[in-house]
Amino acid sequence: MQNGMSLRQYLVDQKRGGVAIEADLIDLICETAVTCKEITAKIDRAALEGALGAAGSQNVQGEEQKKLDVITNDVMYEHLCTTGLLAGMGSEEVDEPMMIPDQYPRGRYLMFFDPLDGSSNIDVNISVGTIFSIVEAPRGDAAPAPEDFRRKGIEQLAAGFCVYGPSTTLVLTIGNGVAMFTLDHSVGEFILVRDKVQIPEETAEFAINMSNQRFWEEPVKQYIADCIAGETGPLGKRYNMRWVASMVAETFRILTRGGIFLYPMDERVREKGGKLRLMYEANPIGFIIEQAGGAASTGRERILEVEPGSLHQRVPVILGSKKEVEKVEEYHRR
């Protein structure tokens, strides 16, 4: 493995090295990378083409959709449904699972995606991203049933996200570690820049939206209070804080220098299960974090073991440096 490889060369090299990845899954990952290239181009030109701002609609979560939420969802659906590689798709932006139109062949995989995570940042030019998760379709290339879209995170074959930031960089796992590919605009290829990414087990940097503090459960209130207490507090060290309000940006930072990200249970959304979505946010990001030696928890259980109740199931999310996540889980056991 050497830096400078293209995404497809990396995947073929992984297969040659013994990783059990089918040729059609390699194709699907490469086609998904094409949609990320299309999306980065749309984002670059959004201000020039009047594509910023609200779409005037809401998603299934009742959240205001940005024009780019809808545009990027259409880019992914319209590109991927023609490839003959998917039996269906689930998207944050669409209430029901999306089926493959009759004029196209179906494939053997299902994909869950958030086409533009962090889109509340898009109008203020802060990093956003595309998150995707791939599982095997249980009925092969036959039309999938609704229950086929409720799958545990441990069933994922591949997961990735593309962060549209100072660079456009794709982060990917196929279950054999985590690799990073930066888009070389001059040739239009994602080029390997890091492989076998490892998250430091310890950290002194937490990411949480502090304005929600009064709604958190006691264990999280206590943990954050102890972080802020610094050197003289029970955790015995000074913590730094970051909050970008874009999970892909926080995750990229944690993969690069460690850290812990928390979007914990919040009284306002208890009956919904939490704020972040399991199938196309917590599961793919959790898979990547675990593959990089980190941990991903609800505070009480491993995220990848959560049994989804619906396509748009929400969960509390606590992920990042392994020992720090274990510390927060210990606060929940007290």
Whose Cβ is closer to ligand P6P: residue 209's or residue 240's?
209
Pairwise CA distance, residues 53 & 184, whole Å: 28
Whose Cβ is closer to ligand P6P: residue 5's or residue 68's?
68
Q: Which stretch binds ligand P6P (CB under 6 A): 113-121, 133-141, 189-197, 221-229?
A: 113-121
Minimum distance from CB of 275 to ligand P6P (Å)? 6
Minimum distance from CB of 243 to ligand P6P (Å)? 7
What the block records as the tokens of 172 is 């990917």
Residue in 5, 14, 90, 117 binding ligand P6P, rule: CB under 6 A: 117
Residue in 83, 156, 246, 251 binding ligand P6P, rule: CB under 6 A: 246
Taking alpha carbons only, the member of 165, 145, 36, 42 closest to residue 88 is 145
Minimum distance from CB of 276 to ligand P6P (Å)? 6
Residue in 171, 247, 262, 285 binding ligand P6P, rule: CB under 6 A: 247
Pairwise CA distance, residues 10 & 3, whole Å: 9
Q: Helix, strand, or coil here: 312?
A: coil
Q: Helix, strand, or coil here: 266?
A: strand
Pairwise CA distance, residues 62 & 57, whole Å: 9
Q: Which stretch binds ligand P6P (CB under 6 A): 66-74, 117-125, 234-242, 308-316?
A: 117-125
Q: Which stretch binds ligand P6P (CB under 6 A): 33-41, 112-120, 141-149, 321-329?
A: 112-120
Whose Cβ is closer to ligand P6P: residue 163's or residue 180's?
163
Q: Is 286 an interacting residue with respect to ligand P6P (CB under 6 A)?
A: no
Whose Cβ is closer to ligand P6P: residue 239's or residue 252's?
252
Minimum distance from CB of 156 to ligand P6P (Å)? 19
Minimum distance from CB of 99 to ligand P6P (Å)? 26
The amino acid at 317: V
Q: By Cβ distance, which residue is nearest to ligand P6P?
A: 247
Find the Cα–Cα–Cα–Cα dihedral 229, 255, 317, 293, rounded to 10°. -100
Q: Is 245 an interacting residue with respect to ligand P6P (CB under 6 A)?
A: yes
Task: Return the residues of window 162-191 that contact ligand P6P according to CB under 6 A.
Answer: none
Whose Cβ is closer to ligand P6P: residue 40's or residue 83's?
40
Q: How many residues make contact with ligand P6P (CB under 6 A)?
A: 9
Pairwise CA distance, residues 172 & 280, whole Å: 14
Q: Which stretch binds ligand P6P (CB under 6 A): 52-60, 93-101, 241-249, 297-305?
A: 241-249
CA angle 108, 162, 253 (to 5 degrees): 130
Taking alpha carbons only, the member of 154, 175, 151, 185 closest to residue 11 is 175
Which residues are within 8 A (CB) of 154 and not within 5 positions of it... i.e. 6 or more apart? 304, 305
Phi, psi dihedral angles at 256 (to 5 degrees): -90, -40
243: number of Cβ within 10 Å: 13
Taking alpha carbons only, the member of 315, 320, 117, 118 closest to residue 223 is 320
Q: Is 276 an interacting residue with respect to ligand P6P (CB under 6 A)?
A: yes
Pairwise CA distance, residues 125 & 52, whole Å: 10
Give residues in contact with ligand P6P (CB under 6 A).
Answer: 117-118, 120, 209, 245-247, 263, 276
